[in-house]
Amino acid sequence: MAIEHHDYDVLVLGSGGSGLRAAIAAAEAGARTGLVCKSLLGKAHTVMAEGGLAAALGNVAPEDGWTTHFQDTMFGGKYLNNWRMAELHAKEAPDRARELEHWGAIFDRTPDRRMSQRAFGGHTYKRLVHIGDRTGLEMIRTLQDKTVHSDVDVFMETTITKLIKDGDRVVGCFGYRRATGEQITFSAKALVLATGGSGRIYRITSNSQDCTGDGYSLAYEAGAEMVDMEFVQFHPTGMVYPPGVAGLLVTEAVRGEGGILRNALGERFMEKYDPKRMELSTRDVVARSIYTEVKEGRGTPHGGAFLDVSHLDSDYVKRKLPSMYDQFLELAGVDITKEPMQVGPTCHYFMGGIKVDADTGATRVPGLFSTGEASGGMNGANRLGGNSLGDLLVFGRRAGFGAAEAAAQVGSVSLPQEEISAAQAEVAHFLSRSDGDNAENPFLMHRELQTIMGDGVGIFRDKEGLTQAIDRLESLQGRVENLKAPSDRLDYNPGWQLCREVKNMLNVSLMVARAALMREESRGGHSRLDHTAYSDYWGAHNIVIHRESEHDMTLTPTPVLTRDELVELVEARKEAEKAA
Amino acid sequence: MSETLTAGGTRKLQIWRGDLTSGQLVDYELETEPGMVVLDAVLEIQRSQAPDLAVRWNCKAAKCGSCSAEINGKPRLMCKTRLDHLPADEPITVEPMRAFPLIRDLVTDVSWNYRVNEQITPFTPRENLREGVDVLNGDFLIDQSETDRISEFRKCIECFMCQDVCHILRDHRMHNRYYGPRFMMRIASLDMHPLDGVDRLDQIADEGGIGLCNITKCCTEVCPENIHITDNAIIPMKERVVDQRHDPILKILGRTPNKGRSKPPARSATPEL
Ligand SMILES: Cc1cc2nc3c(=O)[nH]c(=O)nc-3n(C[C@H](O)[C@H](O)[C@H](O)COP(=O)(O)OP(=O)(O)OC[C@H]3O[C@@H](n4cnc5c(N)ncnc54)[C@H](O)[C@@H]3O)c2cc1C
Ligand code: SF4
Ligand code: SF4
Ligand code: FES
C-alpha cells in the first residue's frame, strides 16, 4: 500500500521556539520547508517558559554587553560550555529579541519605552526580556504567526519514529499521523532536529508530555554524537503537593521577588549553604540544599521546603506573580499571600544533547542538523535561567540557514525501501506482536524507568547507585523489544505512541547514567557524593557519546572546545571569582 | 494547610466514548488521590481501564490549551479542574467540545481555527515609523500602558473553549461566516498595537462577521485566562465598525484609513469547517 509522502529541501522536527525559528530561517533562505510536530502548533513545551529571554540589550543596565553575558554563561556552565556557542549566543541574542518585537511580540517596557529587563540568578545585570510570567507563550505565538505567513508546510500531531539514511547521509524520516495512525514518510535534503529535552525520564518533572528525548535517541541511532548528557538541571522549586501536580514549576521569580525558604523547624536554611546569595544562589546549589534538608529529616509534611511570600504585600504578589497565585489557589488550595508554599526539586532541563557545529547546527552526520534543547554545548554543566529562550532563537536561525545552505548543495534524495520497511516493521511490532506472557505494558515500563532514574541518577549520585541503575536499565533494554500497546487501534492510541517513546527514554537514561558514572567529580548539575570536589581533568573535558554498533554505547572524554580570542575574557572571570 | 484536601475516595466519571458515527457516555469508577484534577482521572482510567481512550493533552499546567473538554456540561481545561471542586454526589461527565468535528472520544478536530488564523493579516509595522518617537536604534518605543492593554489579549492559550461556547458556531454552525471570539480578539490585539500599519476594518466586518456577535458574553465566561473578550475586544471593534463604516460623511469623503494604515490584500472568504 502506498503511504503518504512529502519531499522538502529542509524538514524541521519540532515546533518549539527553536524549530519554528529554524523553519522561518530555512524558508527565508529559499528552501522548500516542512515542519513536523507531535503536538498541535503553538502547544509545544516552549509555551510554558515563564521568566524571560536573556539578551544583553543594556536597556536597564547600560553597562551590560555581550562580553559580560558570555562570561556569565561560561561561569554558570562551569567552563564546560562550547565557547563559540556561548559567544554567538551572547552576541546575537539582542538582535533576535528585537526581531521578535518587530514580528509583533509585546514585552514589558522601561520608563523610556524600550524593552524592559529583569534580574535572574547568575546574570550580572538585569538582562531578561519578559512579559509578566508568560514569556514563552509570547515567543511561541509570535513565531507561530510568522511561520504560518512564511512559506512553511506544517504537519501537526505527526510523530516521527525513525530517521532514514541513504549510506552516510540522513535523507528523510518515517512516522505516523496520531489521529489516524496512517504512516507518512518525508524525504529531505537536510533535516533539523528541534525536538526538545527528555524531562519525562523522571517522575517529578516540570516538562510537558512531549519531552521524551525522541531527538536524542533518533540522532544517536543515526550515528550522531551526544555531549554533556550527565548534566540534567533540577530546578529547586517544583510543587510537591498534591501528588497529581508534583513537579509543576514554581518560577524562580518567586525568590526573585523576595520569597524565603525555610525548613520544617522554621530555619532559613540557605544561611548554611550560601550565606552570600541566600535564596538567589544558583539553581544547582538551591536544589541540593532543599534536597539535603528533606533527606536529613527537616522536610515539610509533604516532603519539601517552605517557600514563603506571605510577608510581602498581597496585592504586590498578585500583580507580580499572577500565575503562581492562581496555580496554588486552584490546584493546591493554598493562598500564597497568606501561607507558605511547599516546594522541592524537579527535573527541568537537559544541558546535554546532540553535538553540533556552533555556527551552522550541523551534526557529524551529513544532512542532519540540530538546535534548541535537543542540541548540547551552549550551557556546559549548568544553564542560567533565561539562556534557553535566547538559545532557541540564535541557534534556531543558524540551524535553519545551515540546513538550507547544505540542502542547496545536494541534488535530489530518495528513501531506500529497506529503511522504510524496517521503520514500518518497528511500529507494527508494537501493535501486533503476539501476546506472550512477556508482553510489556509501556505505561508500566515507563513508571519503572522513572523509578530507576529517581533512585539512582537523581540530584546526588554515587558509584554504587549509578552502577545499580545502569544494571537495571540494561535489564529493561532486554525487555524493550517486548513492548506492546495495550490496545491495537491505530487512531489516537497513546499506548502505541508511548512504546517508541519508552525506547527513546531508555536510550537517553543510559546515556545520562553512564556519563554520570564516568565523570568522577561534582560540577554544575552533576553532584557525586563520592567525588565532591572539582577535578582539573574533568574541568577540561566533555563526555561525548556515540553508538559504535547496535548495543555498544561508547563514551569518550573529549577536550572542551575553546577559542584563542576568548581566553582573556574567560581568565579574567576566573580571576574575579577567585578574588571574591 | 488552610484547606484539607479531600483524601481519596471513589468517584464515578461518565466519559463520552465514540466517533462521528456513534457514541455514548460510558461509566467509570476510580480510586482518587487528594487534589486530583479531571485530567489525572482520565489518564488513570486510560492507564488501567480503557487503554484506547483518546484524549489530547501536553503541558498539564494550564498553559498549552490542549485539554479542553466539556465537564459537567461546561467547557473547562481538564488539567485545571479539580475533582473535589465538582459536586460529590453525582458522576462527573466529561465530553468533547461540540463546536468542532469529533475525531474520537474526547479529541476534536480544531484545524478550522488554524485556517481562520491564516486569514488574518499578521502584524506589519507602519511604513512611516519615526526615529526617536516610534523607534530608537532598532528598538520599538512603546508605552507600558499600551503593552498592558494588548497584553490581556495575548494571554490567550488557544484552548478554543470560547469558540466552542459561542452560539454562532456551536448552534448555528456558521463557521463560514464568523471567525469566532478568539480571532476577533486576535484582530483586536493587532489593531491596538501602536506601531501596526494595517487597516483590518473590512476584514472584521466582512469575512470576520463581527456583526453576528450579539454580545451574549458566553465566551468571556468560559475563558480560563479571564480575558474580557467581549468588553475589551469585541465591543470596541464593533463601535469602530459602526463609526467608520456607517458614518455618512466619511462615506462621502471616502474613508480615511485609520492612523494612516494601509489595507491588506483581498482575502478568500471565511474558511469552511
Ligand atoms: C515551566 C518551564 C519554564 C521555563 N522557563 C524558562 C525561561 O523563563 N527562560 C528560558 O530561557 N527557558 C525556560 N525554560 C526552558 C525552555 O522553555 C525550554 O528549554 C525550551 O522551550 C525548549 O525549546 P525547544 O524549541 O528546544 O523544544 P520544545 O519546546 O520542547 O519543543 C519540542 C518540539 O519537538 C516536537 N517533537 C518531539 N519529538 C518529536 C517526534 N518524535 N516527532 C515529531 N515531533 C517531535 C514536539 O512536539 C515539540 O513541538 C522553561 C521550561 C519550563 C518547563
Ligand atoms: S459575545 Fe459574541 S462572540 Fe462571545 S459568545 Fe456571545 S455571540 Fe459569541
Ligand atoms: S480567548 Fe480564552 S477561551 Fe478563547 S481560546 Fe483564548 S484562552 Fe481560550
Ligand atoms: S494540558 Fe496544557 S492546558 Fe491542559
In order of their start, the domains of chain B are: 10-108 (3.10.20.30), 111-253 (1.10.1060.10)
What are the residue boundaries of the structural domains of chain A, listed by start? Answer: 233-347, 432-535
CA distance B202 to A381: 54
Nearest residue to A364 via CA among A168, A529, A215, A554: A168
What pLDDT is attached to residue B6?
A: 52
Q: Compute the mean pLDDT over every residue in chain A, rounded to the nearest whole number.
A: 95
ipTM rounded to 2 decimals: 0.93
Place of cell 549520585: A461
Q: Concatenate the DSSP letters of all residues of B107-142 into one string.
A: EE--HHHHHHHHHSPPP-B-TTPPBTTTEETTEE--
Q: Between chains, do B142 and A113 touch, taking CB under 8 Å as contact?
A: yes
Cα separations (Å) of A3 from A188, A420, A421?
A: 16, 10, 12
Ligand nearest to the CA of B212: 2
Q: Which of B178, B229, B230, B237 to mutate to test the pocket of ligand 2 (most atoms within 8 A of CB)?
A: B230
| Cell numbers found for residue A533 | 570536589
CATH architecture of A432-535: Up-down Bundle (1.20)
Under DSSP, the state recorded for A378 is S
What pLDDT is attached to residue A92?
A: 98
Q: Mean pLDDT, to the nearest integer, of A196-211?
A: 96
What pLDDT is attached to residue B267?
A: 64
First to last CA, chain A: 69
First to last CA, chain B: 48
CA distance A408 to A190: 9
What pLDDT is attached to residue B1?
A: 40
Q: Mean pLDDT, to the nearest integer, of A354-371?
A: 98
Angle ∠(A277,A111,B237) on CA atoms, nearest 5: 120
What pLDDT is attached to residue B268?
A: 65
Residues of chain A found within 8 Å of residue B151, distances taken between Cβ atoms: 106, 131-132
Cβ contact B21:B102 at 8 Å: no
What pLDDT is attached to residue B251?
A: 52
**Higher local confidence (pLDDT), A577 or A182:** A182
Q: What 3-state class would DSSP assign to A368?
A: strand
Q: How sure is the predictor about B75, in pLDDT bands with cuts at 50, 70 and 90?
A: very high
User: Where do the DSSP E strands lie in A240-280?
Assistant: 260-262
pLDDT in tens, B180-191: 999 999 999 999
Q: Is the pLDDT of residue B260 over 80?
A: no
Element (H, E) at A236: strand A232-239
Q: How far is the CA of A185 from the centre of ligand 2 (A)?
A: 42
Cβ contact A348:A234 at 8 Å: yes
Cβ contact A210:A31 at 8 Å: no
Q: Is the dihedral of CA A305, A307, A310, A311 positive or negative?
A: positive
What pLDDT is attached to residue B3?
A: 45
**Higher local confidence (pLDDT), A108 or A579:** A108
The residues, ordered by sequence, that sit 6+ positions from A280 with a Cβ below 8 Å of its Cβ are: A121, A255, A256
Place of cell 518560577: A251
Q: Is the pLDDT of residue A507 over 70?
A: yes
Residues of chain A found within 8 Å of residue B138, distances taken between Cβ atoms: 98
Dmax of chain A from CA atoms? 70
Ligand nearest to the CA of A217: 1
Ligand 3 surroundings by CB, under 6 angstroms: B 65, 156-162, 182, 185, 222-225, 227, 229
User: Where do the DSSP E strands lie in A317-462?
Assistant: 341-350, 353-355, 368-370, 375-376, 460-461
Q: Is the pLDDT of residue A252 over 50?
A: yes
Q: Mean pLDDT, to the nearest integer, of A275-298?
A: 91
Lowest mean pLDDT among A390-404, A482-496, B208-222: A482-496
User: Which A residues in the span 463-492 are in contact with B, Cβ-Cβ below 8 Å?
Assistant: 485-487, 489, 491-492
Q: How far is the CA of A69 from the centre of ligand 4 (A)?
A: 34
Q: Is the pLDDT of residue B125 over 70?
A: yes
Residues of chain A found within 8 Å of residue B135, distances taken between Cβ atoms: none
Q: Is the pLDDT of residue B249 over 70?
A: no
Q: Mean pLDDT, to the nearest integer, of B249-259?
A: 53
Q: Is the pLDDT of residue A461 over 70?
A: yes
Q: Mean pLDDT, to the nearest integer, of B206-227?
A: 96
What pLDDT is attached to residue B250?
A: 57
CA distance A145 to A130: 19
Residues of chain B found within 8 Å of residue A98, distances taken between Cβ atoms: 138-139
Nearest residue to A493 via CA among A505, A502, A485: A485
Ligand 2 atom nearest the C-alpha of B180 is 3
Q: Is the pLDDT of residue B2 over 50?
A: no
pLDDT in tens, A16-47: 999 999 999 999 999 999 999 999 999 999 99
CA distance B218 to B214: 10
Confidence (pTM): 0.96
Q: Compute the mean pLDDT over every residue in chain B, rounded to the nearest whole number.
A: 90
What pLDDT is attached to residue A432?
A: 85
**Who among A42, A103, A492 is closest to B103 (CB)?**
A492
The residues, ordered by sequence, that sit 6+ positions from A559 with a Cβ below 8 Å of its Cβ are: A540, A541, A542
Q: Is the pLDDT of residue A1 over 80?
A: no
Q: How far is the CA of A334 from the centre of ligand 3 (A)?
A: 25
Length of chain B: 273
Q: How many DSSP H helices and E strands does chain A contain? A: 16, 21
What pLDDT is attached to residue B248?
A: 59
Cβ contact A29:A397 at 8 Å: no
Which one of B136, B147, B156, B185 makes the best mutation probe of the A interface by having the most chain A beta carbons within 10 Å? B147
Cβ contact A286:A124 at 8 Å: no
Nearest residue to B67 via CA among B56, B80, B53: B56
Under DSSP, the state recorded for B269 is -
Which ranges of A222-321 does DSSP label H, i.e. alpha helix? 253-256, 270-273, 283-293, 314-320
Q: Is the pLDDT of residue B264 over 80?
A: no
Cβ contact B189:A168 at 8 Å: no
Element (H, E) at A467: helix A463-479
- B81: buried, middle or exposed (CB in 10 Å: 19+, 13-18, 0-12)? buried
User: Which A residues in the span 513-572 are in contact with B, Cβ-Cβ below 8 Å?
Assistant: none
Fold of A233-347: Flavocytochrome C3; Chain A, domain 1 (3.90.700)
Q: Mean pLDDT, to the nearest integer, of B112-141?
A: 94
B105 dihedral zone (left: phi>0; alpha: psi -120 to 50; beta): left
